[in-house]
Structure 1
Amino acid sequence: MTDTRTDTDLIIAGGGLAGATLALALARVVPELRVTVVETFPLSPDALPEDYQPSYDARSTALAWGSRLIFENLGLWQVLAEHATPIHHIHVSDRGRFGATRLHAQDHGQAALGYVADNRWMGLSLMRALLDTPVSWQAPAEVTGMTPMPGGVCVQIRKGDDQYSLTGQCLVVADGGRSGLREQLGFVTRTEDYGQNALIANVSTSDAHGFTAFERFTEAGPMALLPHGSPVTAENQSALVWTLTDSALEQVLALSDDQRCQALQERFGWRLGRFTRIGECHHYPLKLTTVDEAVRPGVALVGNAAHALHPVAGQGFNLALRGLMTLVEQFRRAVDEGTPLGDLSILGEYQRLHRQDWQQTVQFSDSLIRVFGQSLPPLAAARDAGLVGLDLVPGAKRWFARKAMGTGGRKPIVSRADCSKEPARNDQ
């Protein structure tokens, strides 16, 4: 039963990929809830284009196979797949050394190991789907504070020059890794600076990618090239994640595009032929950020507001998505039992169930950085032996594949209705 004494049942601070996905999942799984999303950017049905034209410089996200299954159950995958490039193969190697391992989707009976989708396309797809739901939007607006009250929370909102309050049973903070609201509410974060930066850009190569994702570890840091572009034709465009120290980043940013391609060629090698183009470059410092306690009565942190990972393993959004579904599952339970959404028995169970997943994922991503960041000969030799071992030992390779595909953790129930149906397929 929802609480009619409040303005709404659930308030989501942030309407990005995490917040919008949570809102859509709630509309599908717990449709009786009144959900309000507060987003800083203006949102309007008129702003949604009829036809999506991918940009060469579009930022993208790696979606694991497990994330595809979640979006299928939410009824969104068929749309997302229109511009999602499948990953059929993953090639992991150590620059200048013999160690390498390869994963192939067909070996695991899957259509793909994962996908690469433009962030803007994902956002537009979510917005279009949400237009057909009763989810309420306050945009452009910003949550500026929150105070507890009996049975829920009172959230302060600023919209232009106006300030007002909105009451609800629970507040979900989904405004990203630079969440000012998280700090304002007193959540304590632990941050470990890797002393590196991620440079993000799209690149073109003389050879087609063959739907292969490359993870390349070098003495200067890891880099990844993910297939990008057409979902059905292996083209020559890839999404680059290039890890650089502060000084190396300054040097690369000072180069011309041709010089950047040459520097990239020296780091990555010739597995995709010659680098012919590099698009607009974005960069950000790499930090491991976690929150010891991501919930308190009436409040829950999700997505990057709760944990931000190194992008080397491409697990950040996939981990967040699994956490969102776990939270939705607990909200479904709360409604069934007549318990307030913000009750600590509900939010605490969400944290308990999700904690093991994020601890294992953080450990997996962090260990890759530490193991492959060592250049001492004995450690490098052991690392190469480990990569070769993954190729030779089926059990070890299956474990690594499950991590890469995001299928090794707990699988929350996404929807009573949708999970009972055969999900629509749109395999590439």
Structure 2
Amino acid sequence: MDRLDTDVIIAGGGLAGATLALALSRVLPSLKVTVVEAFPLSTDALPEDYQPSYDARSTALAWGSRLIFEELGLWDRLSEHATPIRRIHVSDRGRFGATRLSAEDHGQPALGYVADNRWMGLSLMRELQATAVQWKAPAEVLGMTPQPYGVSVAVKTGDKVAQMSAQCLVVADGGRSGLRESLGFQARHEDYGQNALIANVSTSDSHQFTAFERFTDAGPMALLPGGAPDRPGNQSALVWTLTDQALQALIKLDSECRCQRLQDRFGWRLGRFTRMGELSHYPLKLTTVAEPVRPGVALVGNAAHTLHPVAGQGFNLALRGLMTLVEQFRSAIQQGRSLGDLGVLGGYQQAHHQDWQQTVRFSDSLIRIFGQAPAPLAAARDAGLVGLDLLPGAKRWFARRAMGIGGRKPLISGQGAFAEGESAGNE
């Protein structure tokens, strides 16, 4: 085939897929990129009077993720509705163990941010409207067949199915899609035996831009600061780990009783819980794919891994992986190689593997260690938290993991405040 329909097909136009499309347009503008998205595109992209809903869902962005969005020219807009995390307080309910992280100690204005998902999506769409990225929406990728020139991808639009030729297919349609399995990838699922309950809550005391990681005998919970980015508010985003029985019991309660139940589990560090918004929940699993690449196709984002949300690492890991893939594509073009070549995609997997492995282990170990109640283990983890608070080297390591800081260099010359490897203060 002499001429391809496009160079890269991205299956999924959510946060991961849209970010990859924007990154490719910024770093490799000569590439033809097509995004296939199951839902229609929003027609109200960035209304000037946009205001977040109280029940809007949000994502924790590490400091390293801010640097990536700066590099892509998106951060100025995202920051309009991104609440800074200036302090992180990690504690073990009913025990003495605790550690505290402060952005000031690391010479940064924030350790991370909490951003409204819808605002992130609209901001990405506004930027993508000014690029050559093509969208097929609503549409669906049904399958892919390797070809000598790259891949032939079956795309369903309405009642019609057409074949599109491309160098590479990138699957970014989330962990619940059947496309990953239909393409033959084997995902490993480890059930935590619990559920994540997500809701926004209000408290009588201001959060003062502090995120709380609270480990209890019934499971971990997190409260992330929300509201205006320029003044401390009283709204936080809650991630609460609950068993099936506890979840069903909570759902049946009225709002006041739910707040009281949360008060009993979290404590009074934010004063009284005065409101709990709309609830959403889902079962918790650690999902990983050991081999996320094959000739002509790569998995990214939740299609490649789904982590426990309390540690706040999932999207940040995905974002770093997207930039690693873009870097690998750039090297392939410089070498005159096809983007779907297994050597190219294998290079992406190898380059991203250490970050992937360390982040998965870091996130999973927090949940498993702090989810255990036996007294000897509880005493040991409390001592570990105290030691983490007292030992500068260990605390810097923990802070760097939380901030998503590694050694990646900017792909776009002159973009971003500094490279990630230079952003952690004294090392």
2:411 pairs with one of 390, 414, 424? 414
Q: Could you say if the C-alpha distance between residues 366 and 157 of structure 1 is closer, same or farther in structure 2, counting changes exceeding 3 Å?
A: same
CA distance in 2 between counterparts of 1:295 and 1:273 reads: 48
Return the TM-score normalized by structure 2: 0.96
Fraction of identical pairs, as percent:
75
Q: Report the CA distance between 1:344 and its aligned residue.
A: 1.0
Change in 2 beyond 3 A, CA 1:422/1:96: closer
| Matched residue, 1:5 | 3
**Structure 2 counterparts to residues 10-159 of structure 1, below 5 A:** 10-45=8-43, 48-159=46-157
Residue number in structure 2 paired with 1:254: 252
Tell me how many residue pairs correspond in the alignment: 420
1:179 CA drift (Å): 2.1
What does residue range 154-303 of structure 1 map to in structure 2 within 5 Å?
154-303=152-301
The residue that corresponds to 2:333 in the other structure is 335
Letter in 2 for 1:235: G
* Alpha-carbon offset, residue 337 of structure 1: 1.3
| CA shift in 2, pair 1:349/1:405, >3 Å | same
> Given the superposition, is the C-alpha separation of residues 184 and 412 from structure 1 closer, same or farther in structure 2, using an over 3 Å criterion?
farther
Q: Give the structure 1 partner of residue 425 of structure 2.
A: none
- Residue matched to 1:426: none
**Deviation digits for residues 256-288 of structure 1 (CA, Å, limit 9, x no counterpart):** 111100000000000000000000000011100
Q: Compared with structure 1, are the counterparts of its residues 242 and 156 closer, same or farther at alpha carbon in structure 2 (3 Å cutoff)? A: same
Distance 1:420 1:277 in 2: 38
Q: Deviations over 1:192-213 (max 9, x none)?
A: 0000100000000000000000
Q: Which amino acid aligns with 2:48?
A: E
Q: Deviations over 1:4-62 (max 9, x none)?
A: 61100000000000000000000000000000000011115555533311100000000
2:218 counterpart letter in structure 1: A
* Cα deviation 1:350-385 (Å, max 9, x = unaligned): 000111111100100111111111111111111111
Cα offset, 1:392, TM superposition: 0.5
| Aligned partner letter, 1:251 | A
Letter in 1 for 2:329: F
CA contact (8 A) 2:46 2:123 kept: no
Aligned equivalents of 1:4, 1:90: Cα separation in 2? 55
Kept in 1, the 8 Å contact 2:11–2:171? The answer is yes
Tell me which amino acid in the other structure corresponds to 2:400: R
Residue of structure 2 equivalent to 1:305: 303
CA contact (8 A) 1:27 1:135 kept: yes
Q: 1:353 to 1:378 in 2, by over 3 A?
A: same
Which ranges in structure 2 are unaligned for 5 or more consecutive residues? Answer: 421-427
Distance of 1:194 and 1:413 partners within structure 2: 36
Match of 1:368 among 366, 369, 385: 366
Give me the whole-angstrom Cα distance separating, in 2, the residues matched to 1:17 and 1:301.
14
Partner of 2:383: 385
Q: Quick one: structure 1 residues 269 and 413, their matched pair in 2 at CA, closer, same or farther if it must change by over 3 Å?
A: same
Contact 1:45 1:131 in 2 (8 A): no
Which moved further from structure 2: 145-154 or 94-103?
145-154
Letter of the aligned partner of 2:411 in structure 1? V
More off after superposition, 206-215 vs 38-47: 38-47
Alignment match, 2:424: none
Paired residues of 1:330 and 1:346 also in contact (CA < 8 A): yes
Contact 1:208–1:236 (Cα < 8 Å) also in 2: yes
CA contact (8 A) 2:67 2:418 kept: no
- Amino acid of the residue matched to residue 301 of structure 2? G
- Three-state SS of the structure 1 residue aligned to 2:270 is coil
Contact kept? 2:408, 2:419, Cα under 8 Å: no
Amino acid at match of 1:391: D
Q: Retained in 2: the 8 A contact 1:208–1:272?
A: yes
Q: What CA distance in whole angstroms lies between the structure 2 residues aligned with 1:304 and 1:148?
A: 23
CA distance in 2, matches of 1:118, 1:64: 14
Task: Give the TM-score taking structure 1 as reference length.
Answer: 0.96
Amino acid at match of 1:394: P
Letter in 2 for 1:70: I
- Work out whether residues 325 and 413 of structure 1, in 8 Å CA contact, stay in contact via their aligned partners in 2: no
Give me the CA root mean square deviation: 1.5
Task: For 2:346 and 2:419, locate their aligned partners in 1 and report how far apart those are by CA, in whole Å.
Answer: 32
Kept in 2: contact 1:287–1:310 (CA 8 A): yes
The change in CA–CA distance for 1:61 and 1:92 in structure 2 (over 3 A counts) is: same
Instruction: Give the distance between the partners of 2:417 and 2:370, measured in 1 at CA.
Output: 43
Other structure's SS at 1:418 match: coil
